[in-house]
Every structure is written in C-alpha cells, then in structure tokens.
Chain A
Amino acid sequence: MGILDAIQTGLTELLSHKMRSMLTMLGVIFGVAAVIAMVSIGEGAKQEALDQIKQMGIDVVHVKRAVIAGELLEKAEERSPYGLKYSDVNSITLVCPFAKRIVPLREVFADVKVGETPVPIKVVGTTPGYELVSRSQLQEGRFLTQQDVEDNRPVCVLGAAAKRELFGFDNPVRKTVKIGQGIFRVVGLMEPKEIGSSKASAAMRDFNSDIYIPITVSFSNFQIYSQQAVPATITSLRALVGKMNNRPSRENSGVSEIIVQVQDDTATPATASIIRSVLNRQHKGIRDYEILIPAELLRQQQQTQKIFSIVMGAIASISLLVGGIGIMNIMLATVTQRTREIGIRRCIGATRWDIVRQFMLEAMVITCLGGLIGVAMGIGGAHAISIYAGWRTLVSTQAVMLSFGVSAVVGIVFGLYPAVRAAMVDPIEALRYG
C-alpha cells in the first residue's frame, strides 16, 4: 500500500469521527501552541535585554560611582570627596593606553529655564567622545567639541525629550537656555534614542531627557553633591559643608561615570580587571564605585535566558506529552473498535507491516495536523500577547520547526504501541469479532 493511500485512509478515518479527532488533537494543539508562545516570550525578552546591553556597547567598560552607606561611607569620607573623581580618569588613562576612548560623565540635576518656569533636568558634563561611545546620533547642529571643553564654553546639546519639554516644536539650535545660574547656547540636538519598551528599560536611564555640557563647565558651575543622599552622620555632614565651602580642585572634582571604550570587545574583561586594580589602590580598598562590563552582562543574560527558555520549553512540553498520551489512549480504543477492519485487511493480503504503517500514519496525521494548528495558534497567541500585554515576543523558526517536529515524533512514539497491537491481531479471531 502506497504511503499516499495510507495517509488518505488516515484522513478518511479522522474525518469520519470529526468530534473525536478534534478532541484527540487538542492535546497536541495546546502543547505545540504553549511551546511556541512560551519560547516566543522568552526569545522576545532575551532580544530586548540583548538590545539594551548592545546599546550600551559591548566594546566598553563602565565605571560608575556606587551609593554607599554607614561605616563604609564614613571611611570613604576620609578621602575627599568620596566616589569617582576626575583624578580617576587620569589614572585610568595612564594604565589603559590602549583604550580607544575614555569619556567621563558628570551628572547633576539643575533647574533649566527657557521662559519663566524652571524645569529640573539632568545635566551631563562630558567630552566630545561621548557622542561616539553612546552611539547617539545628532539631529541638528553639532555635539560638544574639544574646543568647547578646553575653553570652558557655555554651550549645550539637548536630548530629544529635553528639547521637547523646553522648546516644544521650535528649533532650539542657536537659542539660549538658563542652566542653574549660567546662560548656555544650544549648539546641537540629539536624535531620539530607542530605549525599547517600558518593562526592562526602567532600569536604564533615559538618555533622551539629558542635556550635555562641556565637563569643564560642569566642574566650575555645579556641585555633584546636589544629588547626593543625605549624609548619615554629623561628622560627614560637617565634612560635606566644609567641601561645599572649599570648592575642590578639578582633580578632586567628582564624576559620576567613566566609560572606557576599547578596540576589541574581547578585551573588555582584561581592561576591567586593570581598572579594578588601579581604582582599588586609589580608593584604598573602598568600593565606592562599580565596574560594569556590558559584554559580560550580555553573556550572563544569554546564560540566564537559555536556562529560562529550557525551563519554559520543558513545562510546555509536558502538555505535549499529555497530548501524546491522549493520542495513544484513543488509538488503542480505535484498534479495538476496528479489529474487524484489521482482520479484513489482513485477510485480503495486508502484512503486519502494512497494518503498523497504517495506524502509525493515522496517529501521525493526527499529531501533524494538530501540530500545524498548534503552530498557527502559538504564533497567533504570541502576537496577541505582544498586543495586549505589550511584551515583546519573537517567534523563532527554530521553535516552530522544533515543536512541529516534536509533535510528529509524538505521533510516532505514541502511535507505535497501538499500531503494533493492531498488527498482532489474529485475522481469524478478528473476523469472528463483532
């Protein structure tokens, strides 16, 4: 018997019991749909995390000031000021001559005024390198230049959201804004930066609402401690007051973050360890800074996601397994019910193998058909989740192929035993039956 005939026989059999076939298929349909939906959600989350980490750049090392408290804070106060300082930038420059760019960031909150109402905005003092390190695009005008930094020029570049808040739809370039006590000229406007959907990006800062000024201007105009947590002790308060009165030298001025970009993204862990050892010495072992390696985060993220995907997939696979058991159950019932048919077929010349193949193909027709419907439902479900929950989902071809393949295999595995039972039917007995 040709394979097409066998498949046709299987389909005819299924169509003659539409309700039963549908119910049998449900297990596989839901199993496959669940696998695809689960994996799609996992893949989507993974992609989102990857995008964010990639946006930080995988060829960079971030050194950030860390918030510390209690005893550590007191110890740190002995150095003045605690946290990252401009001198750290110099030390890093010294030990990382191979670095492509070293960009310091100095973040302060200041009241920014265009008209009468002040808007509190994060003002980031930085150097020209930031434009390239942050992978930002200019929409209008120019970014900060070396000249701006060296000459202490009161110029600024607006992030897209900051511009919208301050200027609405007007073109801000060549206009002036009041930042803190100083008047700044707007020289450039950044392109809005995609920061992904809300869920995971909450942890990330919104670059779009920043204003960039030359770091030298930031040193001379702003105290970084304006955003510091309230000091914990009287002594530290006193120290703080003292510091505020004595404006620190540039060397001692705090910075919030140092971004070190290297030529080769595989060099980031080594660079990080060099930076760690030099900062450890400079900071006398006080960990008032943290070092982030996006490439490392990426790797960890991938690892976590892999485990997550496996767990999700495994849970969903259980429903496929249950579906398979359902099919076996129905196929066993079918074999009993169709004993006479098996006897007739054997009598007119079907071999045992013909019977095995027929019943296997019937089981596979059920699971493959169920698999197809399940794939459609899974893709639809993933879309529905994207739309209603706002989660990013990604239907991977691999997941579709795999779950469809698994459903075919389920047909083989769970169809085998009933098929063998069918083939073992004695034709003489079978013809006497029913």
Chain B
Amino acid sequence: MDSNMSLIQVVDLAKTYKIGTVDVPALKGVSFSIENGEFVAIMGPSGSGKSTLMNIIGCLDRPTSGKYILDGTDASKLSDSARAAVRNRKIGFVFQSFNLLPKMSALKNVLLPSMYAGEQKDKKAGLHALESVGLAKRVHHTPMQLSGGEQQRVAIARALINDPPVIFGDEPTGNLDTITGVEIMAIFQRLNTEGKTVVIVTHEPEIAQHCKRVLRFRDGLLESDEQVTEQLIAKPGG
C-alpha cells in the first residue's frame, strides 16, 4: 500500500437507480478524498445522494461508474464476498437505529464481527472494547435492557472490535436526545484523536460542528467541502 495515498479516494462516482424503465440518478459524479485521521461530516437534505454515497463507501453497494478506492483497494470492482470481507475488517459501522441483535448480550454483539473475521477474538477483547465506551458494567445485558445511548455505545464497541481504519456513522445521533447525542460525539472525538478516521452522515449542523470537515451534498453533487473553523469539543458524559 502506498503510504501517500488517501484512505478514501472517490473519483467521479455516479450511481443511477433503475425504477421500472426510468433511470433515476442519485449521484451524478462526485470526487473527493479523505485522509487518514480525518473527522468528516457528510451533510445534505434528503434526496441529496448522501445515503447512496454512504452505501457505496460502506461497500454495501456498487457505483454505476467511477472509482472508489478504500485503503489502497479499488472497492468498486470487488465481488460480493470480497466486499463482505472489506466491511468486516476495514470498516466499523454505527447506525441511527443501533442495529444490535436483540437476543444477544452486549458482549456477544460486540464480538460478532470477529466471528466473521475468521479469527474470533476472545472475551477479553470484547470486554476491553466495551470498557473503552464506558459500558464495563453492562456486558451481559441484552439491547432491550439498555438505554438508547448505551445501545449506541455497544454499537461503537462492535465497530471497533476488528480494529478497522475507518468508522462510518449513519446518523449516529439521530435516535438520541441532544445530551446523549453529544456524549456519543465525545466518543467519536476521542477515537479520532486516537487516530481513527471517522465519517458520519448527519443533518444536524450542531453535530457537524463537532467534526473537522464538512462535505455538503445537493441533488447528487458535492456542493461544498470546507474545514470546520470552530470545532465544538464534546464533554465526555457518564
């Protein structure tokens, strides 16, 4: 891998959905790159193409045209199982609705990605990950027994278990109240200072203020790309 290369490199990316016989363009050719250690917010109104972009850079979907290079690999040309492996090892996902498996304990949820990685991490790694998000005492609770904020912390611990270079958050604070949302942002900020690249999709300007760089999308195009001048520092809550 070339060390000068950006972690994420998107070149002229386009995605067109076919609905019946009508072509609906969702992304009309977008280019940008994200370096290692950045903390990026992706913003835009609904229909701007930000979800489509997130699906593609999250390796859940393939572009119609253009290039997407993640960590030195052209992910736009990978097979289904190769993309599964990329999702497993290079990306940590955090969702708006947490997406934990309801029947499993927090610990088992956290360990789940490592089960698909071929080398299952032991309990210690899971406990450590939960500890790092402040949930050391809730390891055996099921998601139903946890509050929204706690569930999102479990999800973050799960995203960290395979030590991926990048964390993708899709509206990670969308289902949380403001205070809890800020607490979650504090965790992302800490992860970022520890060297992780964090990319989150959000429509809340205040959440975007916690990031270092904002990409704004509109009608399938990149509207603006600017650095955050006065970054808000979230206080880690308890």
Compute how far the CA of A344 lies from the CA of B84 in the bound complex, rounded to whole angstroms.
12
Query: Given A346-B84, A347-B93, A349-B87, are A1 and B116 neighbors across the interface (CB < 8 Å)?
Result: yes
- Name the one of B55, B103, B158 contacting A348, with C-beta atoms under 8 angstroms: B158
Q: Tell me if B60 and A347 are in contact (CB < 8 A).
A: yes
- Asked whether any CB of chain B lies closer than 8 Å to the CB of A431, the reply is yes
The answer to whether A348 and B61 touch (CB under 8 A), given A12-B103, A13-B103, is: no
CB-nearest residue of chain B relative to A1? B115
Contact A2 B115 (CB under 8 A): yes
A248 close to chain B: CB less than 8 A? no
Instruction: Report A-chain residues with C-beta under 8 Å of the C-beta of B60.
Output: 347, 427-428
Give the complex CA separation of A319 and B19 in angstroms.
Answer: 45
A352-B81 contact, Cβ under 8 Å, with A13-B103, A347-B87, A427-B60: yes
- B53 on the interface (CB 8 Å rule)? no
A contact face: mostly helix, strand, loop, or mixed? helix
Whether, in the assembled complex, A51 has its beta carbon less than 8 Å from a beta carbon of chain B, the answer is no
Is B113 interfacial (CB-CB < 8 Å)? Answer: yes
Picked from B61, B88, B100, B120, the residue with its CB within 8 Å of the CB of A349 is B88
Taking a contact as CB atoms under 8 Å apart, the answer to whether B103 and A351 are in contact is no
Chain A positions 341-361 with a Cβ under 8 Å from a chain B Cβ: 341, 343-354
A343–B95 alpha-carbon span in the complex (Å): 12
User: Among B80, B93, B103, B112, which residue has its beta carbon within 8 angstroms of that of A352?
Assistant: B80
Interface size on A, residues (CB 8 A): 23
> A12 — which chain B residues lie within 8 A by C-beta?
103-104
A345-B81 in contact (CB<8A): no
Q: Is the CB of B61 within 8 A of A16?
A: no
Complex interface: chain B residues within 8 A of A1 (CB): 115-116
Decide: B103 and A345 in contact? CB cutoff 8 A.
Answer: no
A12, A341, A351, A354, most chain B CB atoms within 10 A = A351
A78 CB within 8 Å of chain B? no
Convert B29-69 into 0s and 1s, putting 1 for each residue whose CB lies closer than 8 angstroms to a CB of A.
00000000000000000000000000100101100000000
Task: Tell me the minimal C-beta distance from B47 to chain A in angstroms.
Answer: 15
Is A116 in the interface zone, CB < 8 Å from B?
no
Say if the beta carbon of A71 comes within 8 Å of chain B: no
Contact B80 A348 (CB under 8 A): no
A344 touches B103 (CB 8 A): no
A349, B117: Cβ atoms under 8 Å?
Answer: yes
* A431 near B95: Cβ-Cβ < 8 Å: yes
Bound Cα distance from A344 to B99, whole angstroms = 6
* Contact flags B97-110 to A (C-beta < 8 A → 1, else 0): 00111011000000
How extensive is the interface on chain B, given as a class? 20 to 34
* Residues of the B chain whose Cβ atoms lie less than 8 Å from the Cβ of A170: none
Establish whether residues A348 and B81, one from each chain, have CB atoms under 8 Å apart when the complex forms: no
Among residues of A, the one whose C-beta sits closest to the C-beta of B162 is A349
Q: Which residue of B lies closest to A15 (CB)?
A: B103
Residues of A within 8 A of B61 (CB): 428
Cβ B85 vs Cβ A351 within 8 A = yes
B89 within 8 A of A: yes
Complex contacts, A354 vs chain B, CB 8 Å: 84, 116
B116 A348 Cβ-Cβ under 8 A = yes
Nearest opposing residue in chain B for A16, CB measure: B103
Give every chain B residue within 8 A of A5 (Cβ-Cβ).
115, 120
Which residue of chain B lies nearest to A353 when distances are taken between CB atoms in the complex?
B81
In the assembled complex, how far is the CB of residue B220 from the closest CB belonging to chain A, in whole angstroms?
A: 17
Taking the closest CB of chain A, its distance from the CB of B108, in whole angstroms, is 9
- Chain A nearest CB from B129 CB (Å) reads 13
* B166 to A: closest C-beta gap in Å: 14
Report A426 CB to chain B, min CB distance, Å: 9
The distance in angstroms between the C-alpha atoms of A433 and B219, with both chains bound, is: 25
Kindly list chain A residues whose C-beta atoms are within 8 Å of the C-beta of B81.
Answer: 351-353
Shortest CB-to-CB span from B102 to chain A, Å, is 8
- For residue B5, give the distance in angstroms from its CB to the closest CB of chain A: 23
Given the complex, which residues of A lie within 8 Å of B162, measured CB to CB?
A: 349
Residues of B close to A13: CB separation below 8 A = 103
- B103: chain A residues at CB < 8 Å are 12-13, 16
Residues B108-126 near A (CB distance < 8 A): 112-113, 115-117, 120
Q: How far is the CB of B53 from chain A (nearest CB, A)?
A: 13
Q: Return the chain A residue nearest B89 by Cβ.
A: A349
From A2, A348, A351, contact of B93 by CB (8 A): A348
Tell me if A348 and B85 are in contact (CB < 8 A). no
Given known contacts A347-B93, A349-B116, A341 and B101 CB-to-CB distance under 8 angstroms: yes
Q: Mark A175-211, 1 if CB is under 8 A from B, else 0.
A: 0000000000000000000000000000000000000
Q: In the complex, what residues of B have CB within 8 A of residue A2's CB? A: 115, 120
Residues of chain A within 8 A of B99, CB atoms compared: 340, 343-344, 347, 431
Contact A350 B95 (CB under 8 A): no
Can you give 14 contacting A-B residue pairs, CB < 8 Å?
A5-B115, A13-B103, A343-B99, A346-B84, A347-B87, A347-B93, A348-B88, A348-B116, A349-B87, A349-B113, A350-B116, A352-B80, A354-B84, A354-B116
Chain B interface (Cβ < 8 Å from any Cβ of A): 55, 58, 60-61, 80-81, 84-85, 87-89, 93, 95, 99-101, 103-104, 112-113, 115-117, 120, 158, 162
A contact residues vs B (CB 8 Å cutoff): 1-2, 5, 12-13, 16, 340-341, 343-354, 427-428, 431
In addition to A345-B101, A349-B85, A431-B95, 18 A-B residue pairs with Cβ atoms within 8 Å of each other are A5-B115, A5-B120, A12-B104, A344-B99, A344-B100, A345-B116, A348-B93, A348-B112, A348-B113, A348-B116, A349-B84, A349-B87, A351-B81, A351-B84, A351-B116, A352-B80, A354-B84, A354-B116
